[in-house]
Chains A and B, each alone.
Chain A
Amino acid sequence: MNIGFLIIILYLSFNLGSCCGGVKSRVTSSMMSVLAIGLAIGASMGFSSYFDQPYTNLHSVLPFVMLGLGVDDSFVIQNAFDQTNVNDDMRVRMRQAMSHSGVSITVTSMTDFVAFMISTTTSLPALASFCFYAATGILFLFMFQCTMFGAAVVLDGRRQLAGKRDFLDCCSVCRGRSAKPITQEDMKRGIVSIFMKEKFGRESQI
């Protein structure tokens, strides 16, 4: 499971921003996302225990389910934030980002939540318990991604505007290597975004 978390952090780091340690890097933000997922897993276990739901061997796969769903939310929020104008005030940017991504996250999370809650009616105790844990986990994941990862996006955005490196910023300052604040020109779309819009989207229209 530790390896799974490590892989997800690396995957997030590469996808949310560029590597490694520069202004555009988002390793810290990725770790905050994974932390939010970890908290959601813990919260779901504690909350489900309130309702006398047993923990079984099957539940050991729950973190992987939550990782997949949680990372998806992070991508949506971060991508919506990246679409905003860097020159705008942070409040305006976050209002725009969250109003766009929030609806998407809510719809997907509620769909997953309802699907898992319906599955709790199964007659198999292990599966019913697992689905209850997963359903509550999705709720906490939804909340924590909106609050904790949303806050991490704000802090990360401030850092980028201040021209600070992602991590070990003090070391680079000590060495006399300064970083430039991020500008609107730096906010290039990623390879996947370009492919989906320029290639896949265009061919679909044809």
Chain B
Amino acid sequence: MHPTVGDVKAAAHARTCLESLSDSVDSRLSSFFGDLGESLAIRPYTWIGITFVVFAGACSGFGKFYSQNENIWQPQDTETAKAQLKFTSLYDNPFYVDSVILVPTDTNSNALDKANLVSMMELHDKVELIETEVSVDNTLIKSNLTSLCYPMPSAGHPCFIKSILELWNYDMATLVADTDVQTTMAAKSFADLDLMLGGFAGSAGSYTAEALKLTYFLENREVMDGAKFEDPPAKEWEGGFLDAMAVGCPANMKCYYQVSERSERALMNTRVRATTANNQLHSFCSLAPPCSIKNSHNLAFARRRPPGPSATSSEGRSRATWC
């Protein structure tokens, strides 16, 4: 039995408001696209042209195009991010930490043997000779360790450097002239030596160690460059440091090193080069020496960096841990 006209009208009256709205939207959309289809059939080339015009209009935004690959996975506007921003705006590392750990290739060897210490001093001398150039605002800046380091004269050196070599004032002649390095080391307390040596054990006169650590502290001179803080001279010098470690590691030692200002990518590139040079390289993020700084430079630790979104932009770098 077919429905009568009255049944259809009754069914139409029974439709809900939402159904009517849905039908209305649907019919209007159908009508619109029907008109569009007819227009396409009449003037297809015109519509292709319109597409390219819209495309060209949208592409004009490429003038503001920029790429960013740092801090893209750090949540923004969260409580943690705000706390971190506050922390770094008030207190941030006053320096970068670049360090190298030297481990004798002969596993039975004592790292504190004079030959190993001399090798370490040779490596330090190579670091002292690193000279780099970088152009900043059309000005060529030449840098070396002394010009970039955190100024804290001690042990005969103008820079803040932490290593066992300070016992010989970072002077090869003094070390070579020392006939009893164990006695010289006895001048330092066990705790002090323990901060600069790995696998340290023994007692005065018969100390042993598995590894030697040489740590350089470069002064943080970051400046705003576009959307992030940069320190081109330090970055360039650390590139030289990595190269020096890759080719200058003593034959009787294995070198494990890290830098804190340069990007991870640069470090990875250097690792590739170092592998070619048959050096076993690793970066350690947790082996920086615990150290205490007890001089007036602590006053400079109050942040120079203004608070702002860029304050977090430097967090993408690997920073050494220290205390």
A interface residues, Cβ below 8 angstroms from B: 36, 39, 42-50, 52, 54-58, 90-91, 93-103, 106, 123-126, 129, 140, 143-144, 146-148, 150-155
Which residues from A are CB-within-8-Å of B55? Answer: 39, 42-43, 140, 144
**Are A151 and B37 closer than 8 Å at their CB atoms?**
no
A56 and B68 in contact (CB under 8 A), knowing A96-B37, A147-B47? yes
Partner of A102, one of B30, B45, B48, B61: B30
B interface residues, Cβ below 8 angstroms from A: 26, 29-38, 40-42, 44-45, 47-48, 50-52, 54-55, 58-69, 71-78, 81
**Are B74 and A54 closer than 8 Å at their CB atoms?**
no
**Are A99 and B48 closer than 8 Å at their CB atoms?**
no
**Are A97 and B37 closer than 8 Å at their CB atoms?**
yes
A172 → B minimal CB distance (Å) = 24
A144 to B36, CA, bound (A): 13
**Are B65 and A151 closer than 8 Å at their CB atoms?**
no
Chain B minimum-CB-distance residue to A36: B51
A143 and B54 in contact (CB under 8 A), knowing A45-B65, A98-B33, A123-B78? yes
**Are B29 and A54 closer than 8 Å at their CB atoms?**
no
A94 and B41 in contact (CB under 8 A), knowing A46-B58, A48-B61, A99-B31? yes
B81 → A minimal CB distance (Å) = 8
Report the 3 A-B pairs with minimum CB-CB distance, sorted nearest first.
A102-B33, A98-B37, A126-B72
**Are B59 and A43 closer than 8 Å at their CB atoms?**
yes
**Are B47 and A151 closer than 8 Å at their CB atoms?**
yes
Most buried by A among B41, B64, B67: B41
Which residues from B are CB-within-8-Å of A144? Answer: 51, 54-55
Show 10 residue pairs from A and B whose CB-CB distance is below 8 angstroms, ordered by the A residue. Answer: A42-B58, A49-B63, A55-B65, A55-B66, A90-B41, A98-B37, A99-B34, A147-B36, A150-B40, A151-B40
Partner of B65, one of A49, A97, A124, A143: A49
A148 → B minimal CB distance (Å) = 4
Which residues from B are CB-within-8-Å of A102? Answer: 29-30, 32-34, 36-37
**Are A46 and B36 closer than 8 Å at their CB atoms?**
no
A103 and B69 in contact (CB under 8 A), knowing A123-B75, A144-B51, A147-B47? no
**Are A124 and B73 closer than 8 Å at their CB atoms?**
yes
Most buried by B among A50, A98, A152: A98
Partner of B33, one of A43, A54, A146: A146
Most buried by B among A93, A96, A102: A102
Partner of A94, one of B26, B40, B51, B74: B40
Chain B minimum-CB-distance residue to A139: B58
**Are B61 and A46 closer than 8 Å at their CB atoms?**
yes
**Are B61 and A49 closer than 8 Å at their CB atoms?**
yes
